[in-house]
Structure 1
Amino acid sequence: MRISTLTMYNQNVSSMNRQQGEFMKIGQQIASGKRIVNISDDPQAMTQAINIGQSKAVSTQFSEARVGVRNALSQEESVLNSVNDVYSRARTLMVQASSDTLSDPDRASVASELRGLYESLVGLANTRDGNGRYLFGGYQDDTAPFVRDVNGDVNFVGNPNVREQQVDGERRMEIGHSGNDIFRSVHSSATYMADAGMDNQGSMQFKGINISDPNDPAFGQAFDLDFADNAGQMQYRVNGGAWVDYNDPTTVALGGVEVEIAGQPVTGDTLRVARGQDSNTDMFRSFEKALAVLDNPADTEAKQTLRTNTLRTVMRELDNGMDNVLTTRAEVGARLNELDALDTIGGNRTLAYEQTLSDLVDLDYVEAASQYSVRMVGLQAAQKAFVDMKDLSLFNFL
């Protein structure tokens, strides 16, 4: 069979091009560190790698989201710690102000410090995060959640709902708490407390509250006591029921609850006995009530009684407030622990993704180096063969 010179040249050039292409391909793999340089190198593996890369990117987004949530929760935990310190100091001042040995100027000094704590509490309630958002504003985090009205009283104008952030594939976590939950709520376990009417004119005081029978059918209800003079005999009734003679002192049984009362009420005086969540739960109101009785001299027995009853009520409200803050801090701590657990899970998941990606697309340098040497030898052989064959001619043998 005759082989033309053109055919011989074409075959040798094709062989050199093929060998050079294989040599360049392995060189690109070594330079990039990837087994798959082009999708055509392994379409199936590249498709899997793209899907895994997308999953890894989503996991990275969740990790970044957890960083933001953790920062917000850590700042909230710090603020709640300061709030608890304010409540604790305020309660200490209430105990001090309740002492009969203090004079009105002494109580005015206590009121001055208490007012400073009140202002500090307002500042803590309107804390901003690193992005300028109000920490306790809920959805409405661009304006201060607590503002003063025309009377100077602090009111909540934020949103009670809290933003959520996707921190993992199946987990959405609330970012903090609303100011309504922290400063205007108490825990459901808050026990009974008494609150004498601010307009009372008598000397009636409540001493203590005892839980006598939590299984009583009426236990858990609120009880309102009204006092009235009936033909020279002071009487009281509960929730508008029958009138009962009042003796000083007395213990009133109220559906599994007993309240000790002493002193002389007058017609129109009232006393409310209810669980914490059915009483005043606004801590700013508690401060405002205490300041109102401490700022005014108690120059009559009625005013002294009002001050005593108010301070006792405020102390119990502060106790409930501290319990609520501690419960909220526990929730924040639980969320921070959950974020740590999610970080661990996410880190393990990311490592698994990286390992799978490495198995799919990363280069085995030992094998690649061997192939590089083989391809170089092949290319040199093809070049040598072409050099030898291009000089073959019958004219050389004439």
Structure 2
Amino acid sequence: MRISSVTMFEQSTASMNRQQSDFLKVSQQLASGRRVVNPSDDPQAASRAVGVDQSISITEQYADSRVSARNSVAQTESILNSVSDAVIRAKELLIQASSDTLSDVDRESVASELKGVYETLIGQANATDGNGRYLFGGYKDNAPPFAKNAEGSVEYNGDANSRQQQVDSSRLMPVTENGKTIFQSVPSSASYVAKAAPGNDGSVTFSGPNIKDVTNDDYGQAFTVEFNVDDDSGDIAYTVTGTDGEIETGEYVGDGQQLSFGGISITLTGEPADGDEISMARPGTPEQPADLFKTLEAAIGVLENPAQTDTEKAAMRNTLNSSMRELDNALDNVLTVRASAGARLNELDVIDAVGSNRMMNYTQTLSDLVDLDYVEAISEYSLRQVGMQAAQKTFVDVKGLSLFNYM
């Protein structure tokens, strides 16, 4: 078989080109630190690497989302801490104002400080997240959620939703609370609240009510105690009426009398007038809506107006008693919401730890797929270098094979 000089040249050139291509490929791997520089280097690994890259990007996005969520929840928890301090201070002021040793001037001073607490709470309720969005307005976060109406009373203008954020693939977390949940709600275990009717003419006051038996068939109803005075004898009778109808009647005998009905009890002092009423209901119900701001407004109102007559003094004491019970319920509610925010902060820490482990696994998988083994690559580099040099030497030798050299 005859092999032409052209064929020998072409084969030598092809051999050199292959060696140069292999040498260049190893050089690119060493320069980039990756075993798979082009998808053609390992199509299966390249395809899997694309999926792992996407998973890493999604995990990083969730990590960024958790940073934002943690800032919002931490700010909410901090504000709720301030709110609880303000409610505690308001309760202390009402206890102080309830003392019989205080004069009307002293009570006006207490009312002045209580106004400061009231305004502080409004400011906290209208806090923003630093981006101009109101924290406690729900999805209506472009305007202050709490504002005073024409009568000077604070109203909630937000909605009953809480903004949520996706912090992991399977976790949609509330990152704020709505103002209704914080300032106009009570925990399920909140105690009954009693209130004297605004038009009472007598001097009867109350303490309580206290829960005695939650298994009572009538427990949970709203109750009204109405007093009737006999014009001839002056005897005073009372009638307890529940939501489902009349529960009991009896004679009111005077100071310190305790009435028990529907699983609760209330202690009465003073002398009621004919038609006077005292109502009791679970807070957060239509009969007794919960509203921290209205509670403070009522307390400020009675402290600013001097109580001269027995009727006015009884109205002041009853209002303060009701306000203190409502503040206790409001504080329990704020602490419950704050505990929820703290639990979410702890949950974010756990999700962060899981996300970090997941990221490490993805990074290791991606490294196994496309990263370069430098020891193996350097050995391959040396081998390809020798191969290319051998191909070049062979080409030089083949090029010199000619009969004309011997003629």
Q: Compute the TM-score of the two structures, normalised by the length of structure 2.
A: 0.95
Structure 1 residues 42-96: Cα deviation after superposition (integer angstroms, max 9, x where no partner):
1111111101111111111111111111000000111001101111111110011
Structure 1 residues 336-389: Cα deviation after superposition (integer angstroms, max 9, x where no partner):
110000000000000000000000000001101110111111111101110111
SS of the aligned residue for 1:201 comes to coil
Q: Compute the TM-score of the two structures, normalised by the length of structure 1.
A: 0.97
Could you list the structure 1 runs, at least 4 aligned residues long, displaced by more than 4 angstroms after superposition.
Answer: none
User: Are 1:355 and 2:364 counterparts?
Assistant: yes
1:323 maps to 332
SS of the aligned residue for 1:277 comes to coil
Flag structure 2 segments of 5+ consecutive residues without an equivalent. none
1:211 maps to 211
In 2, the alpha carbon distance for the partners of 1:287 and 1:375 equals: 86
Structure 1 residues 126-177: Cα deviation after superposition (integer angstroms, max 9, x where no partner):
0000211101010101111001100110000101111111111111111121
User: Are 1:269 and 2:276 counterparts?
Assistant: yes
SS of the aligned residue for 1:276 comes to coil
- How far residue 272 of structure 1 moved from its aligned partner, in angstroms, is 1.3
Give the percent of matched residue pairs that are identical in Structure 1 and Structure 2: 52
Q: Is the 8 A contact 1:137 1:144 kept in 2?
A: yes
1:335 counterpart letter in structure 2:
R
Structure 1 residues 231-261: Cα deviation after superposition (integer angstroms, max 9, x where no partner):
3332222226265332213221211111111
Q: Is the 8 A contact 1:223 1:254 kept in 2?
A: no
Q: Is the 8 A contact 1:29 1:363 kept in 2?
A: yes
2:250 maps to 244
2:381 maps to 372
Matches within 5 A, 1:332-343: 332-343=341-352
Matches within 5 A, 1:1-398: 1-231=1-231, 232-239=234-241, 241=246, 243-249=249-255, 250-278=257-285, 279-398=288-407
In 2, the alpha carbon distance for the partners of 1:340 and 1:312 equals: 42
Q: Is the 8 A contact 1:280 1:317 kept in 2?
A: no
In 1, the alpha carbon distance for the partners of 2:90 and 2:330 equals: 11
Structure 1 residues 6-64: Cα deviation after superposition (integer angstroms, max 9, x where no partner):
11111011011100000000000111110001111111111111011111111111111
What value does the CA root-mean-square deviation take over the aligned residues?
1.2
Q: Is the 8 A contact 2:164 2:173 kept in 1?
A: yes
In 2, the alpha carbon distance for the partners of 1:99 and 1:23 equals: 95
Q: Is the 8 A contact 1:36 1:362 kept in 2?
A: yes
Deviates more, 1:53-62 or 1:343-352: 53-62
Q: Is the 8 A contact 2:62 2:168 kept in 1?
A: yes
In 2, the alpha carbon distance for the partners of 1:280 and 1:109 equals: 29
SS of the aligned residue for 1:37 comes to coil
Q: Is the 8 A contact 2:191 2:210 kept in 1?
A: no
- Counting matched residue pairs gives 398
Structure 1 residues 262-288: Cα deviation after superposition (integer angstroms, max 9, x where no partner):
111112321112223333410000100
In 2, the alpha carbon distance for the partners of 1:192 and 1:152 equals: 27
1:365 counterpart letter in structure 2:
Y
- How far residue 228 of structure 1 moved from its aligned partner, in angstroms, is 2.5
Flag structure 1 segments of 5+ consecutive residues without an equivalent. none
In 2, the alpha carbon distance for the partners of 1:267 and 1:384 equals: 125
1:233 counterpart letter in structure 2:
D
In 1, the alpha carbon distance for the partners of 2:292 and 2:201 equals: 25
Deviates more, 1:223-232 or 1:50-59: 223-232
Q: Is the 8 A contact 2:239 2:249 kept in 1?
A: yes
2:318 counterpart letter in structure 1:
N
